[in-house]
Structure 1
């Protein structure tokens, strides 16, 4: 019998803080678990597990379903990463991040005065070449058990027959200016010019047709078939950059995940072109040996040490990390124990270090809530962590006419003008400058953790530049502070990303702690609206799977059997 975890009524994309003094219990299940940022898709994943699919099958089915039910971030027209750990010990990382089109150029988003335009965020020129469909194909073909068409079937049915609009989706659609600016998006996501109400049925016949063709013809349909031809024609018609050649040449890449150790646990996480895994391992490496945890979770001292680790890791992230096909990323140097020891020693035990005095180190060998994450574990112990995105909420808001899918505005993740903040406030360097065929840097951090060689935890989050710090804190809460997975997720979070030199704190942090942090020299953002990412995690413990979904958004769900 499937069990589901109820959530407080709130909006998926207009998130609220959790009442953190009201403890919630994780969902517990014996056989399989899916935690996703959208409830219908989570149940789709469990159904796949119940009918003989493995965790990879379920992950792909969830991803396609979310393209229908969670248009805020679920997608065909975006990209992301999938981290897989099979029960037999095999691990792999599928990089299906978007690429810059062949016609892209370094200064394409600068005006005559050298100032940034909004073209990297708005309009057809903001889109990179999508990777989701090709990435999911690799996953199913190499690691799945069900057929490609079986894994697409739930999404096809949801798009063609429709589904009931949730409160979260209804409010999200009402709040999107980008959707309202696109005639095709407005036609699909409004009903005769009016917004959908809760409980009304939303059907997407054009998207159903695209999914049906992909189901029948494979991923080549999206990259070389009728869908590709129509997609490229619409791009050309509207002044976009993506061509048929871009689509045909796109490849998802299998990479070797990064691994590290922390307090006896093996951390498996994302390699470049994601910066998230390097940042996560660097932060853990800096903290290891500080004894920060002795001060207790949520204390000013513990927050201080973790924030200083964040500050140093983000300085390095912005200087050194980029697409490994274009830049040499000094991974070994950044994670070298001697280098991490130097960074650790540079932390003042009592005072915040001003960011203008923290510069990227010299290692040897030298994304907000618009993303979505889901975690899957099956009865055999296979585990999958997927983070994928359109970048901005609903991407650039443009639905491709006749095809039904939304486009990403991922080109803004490049450093269009190195040294100038992007839409997430990240200041990035030359390693992430625009080049044709290059993958933009990402903060996505899908992570799997082992204890004594066995699966212990899988986690990840949406949240733009705040993803890796959110994943870090959930890991610390479980490993160092002994919290269950739900408490670890619901505990108030904080974030520092070097530039701007601001420590963001959720309102669940006590005012006394905030005052102590200010006395240490921190510039604090403690505004009521601060929400620092949404985490989806599963812990395997004592024969039970424990699923935790983030109460910062009630659209999410832990579902298991």
Structure 2
């Protein structure tokens, strides 16, 4: 097993790479701050979080401010019409995992997206009124603020309300995003986001008075969203459009404060997402499989030899994901067995050091897990966003939340100004049929009333010797888990600083389809070497920041154990985000 380099050396901004992967990147130096740090994909949101910290708020207050601000300034994924997960670690080391994932409406049914012949109806779980689950974001952010914040909800929401009221200049990328065709299909969406065809351009001031009024109402009385006037308005709107969300669905929504998944990797302790996220347990399984490899001995970061071994760990963990994981409130999940180092060791024995194992030929090690459920079932997208926050007292928040697809269902609630999610596509619509991201899932993730769909969102915190070390996460649908795993491996094993890790070219394998997805900027020569080893690779149609969808967006904070400085790394794939601190 490789001996870990001293953690401060791993974080050094002057770390020398043995490869030339980053020779064309403009700036690979982390942002440095003494007291607190906020890292998000959108600069207004970063500023909002930082302002709240300077007002005396803690990391949770800042997270609430960022969450509501992104609903204004990053509407393709930031939201109050979706849901997500917030991982909190306080300065004393106590942790909370807030599950505010969307829920299937009471009228949802297992076969609701199938036709009379039992065939999945294309698009029905992705676009329109039937695609939406009961949103949890408002409940989650309000719960976080009331239980763990220091300021008032009104204070935390003030930056978002101001931005919605006064507007903000649109960057080129976001102005282009607003031309989304699904928004055009729905009158309120086309009116608010597209000026009924007079599309916004770079630099235009984007004001959202309806959303400002909604946010103001929530700041004064958050119960209105689930049990008051706003709830009634959502329910009436859904009914008129043929959707399933009712006032009763909204009134019965509740946030779950769950115990995080924990694990260990090369001297670091992991705190990460439990089900209904698949992210944490799959991440732990991947790292368990890799735990005895001396990855730097195989070659530098993103070398073919490293990519091969890491990919084989991905392949095996994603096989287990599809067979076993779902909403823990509806299923008994073998989490202890999946996280067992002995199980990882058994999987490790099946990895050929020189060539891939075809997914169709994988045989799960016997004696560790029960047979996977064989009953009915069913699906996960990329329009998610992650942010990381550490305050001056050492409280930390890692938050990932989502609308699921690009602008969710495309449906904006008329008069309220926010887009509803299309999270129902994260359920399995039918056994063996892949969802929008190619993921095939099992019975544990079939549709049922009140159920929360399986997710890949993986907000994660690392500690060392009981002290906070790193806060990270990413959007990216099925690629979230592999992005977070690669960030950890790049930093802990390969000595990259957090900015280098955030910007490193990505690769992904999810068991089925049996293909390594390579980001367009992934080195072509490494891709060729992987092909020669026997892999099927895909570079041409892979989604990245220049194509439909976003392949990850690493937003990372680390603490230098030598200087105790906070280091922020914002992924340059989204050029209007930033890391900032004081």
TM-score calculated relative to the size of structure 1: 0.95
| Count of aligned residue pairs for this structure pair | 543
1:329 to 327, 333, 340: 333
**Structure 1 regions of 5+ residues with no counterpart?**
1-16
Answer yes or no: is the 8 Å Cα contact 1:507–1:527 preserved in 2. Answer: yes
- Matches of 1:498 and 1:292, distance apart in 2: 22
Deviation of the 1:514 alpha carbon: 1.7
Residues 1:485 and 2:504 are matched in the alignment: no
- Please, which of 80, 83, 99 is the counterpart of residue 79 of structure 1? 83
**For residue 248 of structure 2, what is the aligned residue in structure 1?**
245
Displacement, 1:19? 7.4
Per-residue CA deviations over 1:401-459 (Å, capped at 9, x if unaligned) read 11111000000000011211001110111110001000000000000000111111000
C-alpha distance in 2, partners of 1:550/1:19?
A: 16
Query: 1:359 Cα shift?
Result: 4.6
How has the CA–CA distance of structure 1 residues 501 and 528 changed in structure 2, closer, same or farther, with 3 Å as cutoff?
closer
The Cα offsets for residues 437-489 of structure 1, whole Å up to 9 and x where unpaired, read as 00000000000000111111000001000001000001111100111100111
Give per-residue Cα distances to partners, 1:358-395, cap 9 Å, x unaligned: 25555745355310000001111111000000000100
Which whole-Å deviations, capped at 9, do the CAs of 1:104-142 have from their partners, x for residues lacking one?
Answer: 000000011211112111110110000011111111111
- Counterpart for residue 392 of structure 2: 379
SS for the counterpart of 1:548 is: strand
Residue 435 of structure 2 corresponds to residue 435 of structure 1 = no
Select which of 342, 348, 357 maps to 1:338.
342
Q: Deviations over 1:24-64 (max 9, x none)?
A: 21111111111111111111000011110000000010000
In the TM superposition, residue 189 of structure 1 has moved relative to its aligned partner by 1.0
Match of 2:309, SS state, is helix
C-alpha deviation, 1:290, in angstroms: 2.1
Instruction: Give 1:299 shift.
Output: 1.2
SS at the partner of 1:546?
strand
SS in 2 for 1:390: strand
Query: After the TM superposition, which residues 21-40 of structure 1 pair with which residues of structure 2 at under 5 Å, given as runs?
Result: 21-40=25-44
2:578 corresponds in structure 1 to 557
Deviations 1:169-221 (A, max 9, x none): 101112x1111111101100123531111121111111111111110012x11
CA RMSD of superposed structures (Å): 1.5
Quick one: which of 115, 135, 138 aligns to 2:140? Answer: 135
Aligned partner (choices 451, 471, 487) of residue 464 of structure 2: 451
Aligned positions of 1:305-324 closer than 5 A: 305-324=309-328
Query: 2:413 matched to 1:408?
Result: no
Please, which runs of 5 or more residues in structure 2 have no aligned partner?
Answer: 1-20, 371-379, 545-550
Secondary structure at the aligned position of 1:83 is classed as strand
Residue 67 (structure 1) shift:
0.5
- Structure 1 residue 237 displacement after superposition: 0.9
Query: What does residue 3 of structure 1 align with?
Result: none
Corresponding position of 2:14: none
* Partner of residue 155, structure 1: 160
Residues 1:536 and 2:549 aligned together: no
2:241 corresponds to 1:235 = no
**Matches of 1:377 and 1:527, distance apart in 2:** 38
The answer to whether the 8 Å contact 2:322/2:441 transfers is: yes
Contact 1:87–1:381 (8 Å) recurs in 2: yes
1:555 is displaced (CA, Å) by 2.5
Q: 1:197 aligns with which of 195, 201, 204?
A: 201
Tell me the residue number matched to 1:9: none
Match of 2:8 in 1: none
Q: Please, which moves more after superposition, 90-99 or 506-515? A: 506-515
Cα distance per residue 1:490-548 (max 9 Å; x no partner): 11111000000000112443333222211211001122755331111111112211111
User: How far, CA to CA, are the matches of 1:298 and 1:535 in structure 2?
Assistant: 17
8 A contact 1:505–1:530 mirrored in 2: no
Q: Which 10-residue stretch deviates more, 411-420 or 290-299?
A: 290-299
Residue pair 1:368, 1:462 contacting (<8 A) in 2 also: no
Structure 1 position 423 matched with structure 2 position 444: no
**CA distance 1:524–1:253, change in 2 (3 Å):** same
The answer for the alignment partner of 2:306 in structure 1 is 302
Residue 67 (str. 1) matches residue 88 (str. 2): no
Partner of 1:270: 273
Q: Would the alpha carbon gap of residues 429 and 361 (structure 1) be closer, same or farther in structure 2, given more than 3 Å must change?
A: farther
Kindly indicate whether the alpha-carbon contact (under 8 Å) linking 1:501 and 1:523 is maintained by their aligned counterparts in 2: yes
1:286 aligns with 2:289: yes
- Give 2:10's aligned residue: none
Compared CA separation, residues 430 and 528, structure 1 to 2 (3 A): closer
Return the match for 1:396 from 409, 412, 423: 409
Which residue in the other structure is 2:172 paired with? 167
